Amino acid sequence: MAAVRRRADLPRVTAFAVLRAVTGDGAYPNIELSHALRSAGLTGRDAAFATELVNGTCRFQGTYDRILAVAGRRPLTTLQPAVVDLLRLGTHQLLAMRIPVHAAVAATVDLARERVGERVTGLVNAILRKVAAKELSDWMEVLVAGETDPLVVLATRLHHPEWIVRAYADVLPADEVEAALAANNEPAAPTLVCRPGITDRRDLLALGAEPCRWSPVGARYDGVPGELEDVRSARVGVQDEGSQLVALALSRAVEVAGPWLDLCAGPGGKAALLHGLARERGVPLVAAEVAPHRARLIDRAMAAYPGPHTVICADGTRPAWAPGSFAAVLADVPCTGLGALRRRPESRWRRDPASLGDLVPLQRALLRSALAAARPGGVVAYVTCSPHAAETTEVVDAVLADHPHTRLLSAPQYLPGVPGLRGDTAQLWPHRHGTDAMFLALVAVA
C-alpha cells in the first residue's frame, strides 16, 4: 500500500507564496500578506502564524542566509530561489519560533514536495537538520568567530547589514546604538489616526484604542485595523505616530494664509491628515504624486471627506504649479526607509549604500522645488523616514546654503512635550519615542 502523503498546511503555503513574491518580484510583505490572508480566508491564530513566518523571515533573512550557507556547505546562489525561500522559512521556525524540530522540518519538507518537487526534499531535510543542531545564540558565535570590529559583531548579533549599523553609529550616542537596532527587531503596534473634521480621538478610544503619547489625533490599537469598519470607510486611518507628528508640526508652524501642498503625497496618510487640518483653516490642500497607482491610494485615503479634494499626478521636480503658490509645503521625500525597519522588515536587506546615490540627488531636487513652491512667509517641512545623515541634515544643509532667503525653524518647538530632540531639526527614534525614525526640518521662506 502506498504511503499517504501529507498535504502542506495552508498558513505555511500562504507564507511561502508571499515570501516568493517578496524575494522574487520585489513585493512589499505588508501589502502581499493582506491580499494573501484574505484570499486564503486565514484569520486568528492561522493568520498570526503566517504573518510571523513572513515578517520574521524577512527581518532576519541576511542572518539566516549566512547560517544556511554554513549548514549547507554551499553558496545559496547554487540553489533554486524557491528552495532558498523554503529553507529560510524552515530556519525561522527552528531558531525563532520554538516549533519542535520534527514538526518544523517535516512541515517544510511537505511544503517543498508540494510546491517545488520530490527531488528537493532530501536536500531541504538535510540542511534544516543541520540548522536545528544549534540554537540561534550558538549560530551567532559561529558567525562572529574571529571578528574584532565591534560594529560588525553588533550587526551580526542584531541582524542588520553592516552599513546600516555604521549609519546609526554616525548619528547616535554610542550607548544608544544597540538599543536602536534592537528596537528595529520588535514589530510595531498598529496606530490609528482620526480624520480631523470627521472623527476625533474620542472615536478612536471608542474602538478600544489607547491614546498616543504626543499626537492628539492618534491612538494605539491592539488588533487588526483592517477589520474595523471606520478604517475600511476611511473615517479613520492607520498611521505611525511619528508620521502624524511631522504633519502636525507643519500645520502648527504655518502663519500666513494660502493653500497647502503635499509634494510627494502617496500613499496618502499624511495628505489625508493635512487635508483635514487645512479644511479646519478654510484653505485647500493640493496632493501631488508622480505615480498614478499611488495617486489612487491618496483618493482612497481622503474618501471620507465630503466635497472636492485635489489630487494630481505630477513630478515634484517639474512643478505643475506657479512658484510661490503655497503657504505650507510638505516634502516627504523618497528615502531608504531605514527609519521604518520595524514595519518594513525586508528593507534592511533590499537596500544597500548604492541606493543613496540615486536618492540623495532626488531628495535635494525635491527640497529645492518645495522651497520654490512656498510663498513669502510660508513654511516647508522636509521629511524622511530615515535617520541616515546623507538623507537628512546633509540634504538640508546643502540646499539651504544655496537659498539665502530661508531660515531653519526650531522643529522641536512645534512638537511640544516630545523628549530627546536636539538642535533645530527633529529626529524621532523607535527606542526613544516608540515611533518610526522620522526626520523633520522646518524651513521658513522669506
Separation between Cα atoms, residue 286 and residue 66, nearest integer Å: 47
Query: Rounded to whole angstroms, how far apart are CA atoms 302 and 297?
Result: 9
C-alpha cell at 74: 554551499
Instruction: Clarify whether 385 is annotated catalytic.
Output: yes
Residue type, 375: R
Asked if 248 and 426 touch (Cβ cutoff 8 Å), the reply is: no
Amino acid 396 reads V
**Helix (DSSP H) and strand (DSSP E) numbers for the chain:** 20, 12
Query: What is the enclosing helix (H) or strand (E) of 11?
Result: helix 10-25
Residue closest to 363 by CA, chosen among 340, 393, 341, 406: 393
Rounded to whole angstroms, the Cα distance separating 279 from 260 reads 10
Chain centroid to Cα 31, Å, comes to 12
Residues facing residue 237 across a β-bridge: 193
Active-site residue, selected from the candidate residues 194, 264, 335, 385: 385
Rounded Cα gap, residues 114 and 110, in angstroms: 6
- From first CA to last CA, the distance across the chain in angstroms is 86
- Grid cell of 79 as nine digits: 540553489
Task: Decide: residue 122, CB within 10 A, 0-12 exposed, 13-18 middle, 19+ buried.
Answer: exposed
- Tell me the HSE value of 442 on the side-chain side, using a 13 A CA sphere: 26
Catalytically annotated residues: 385
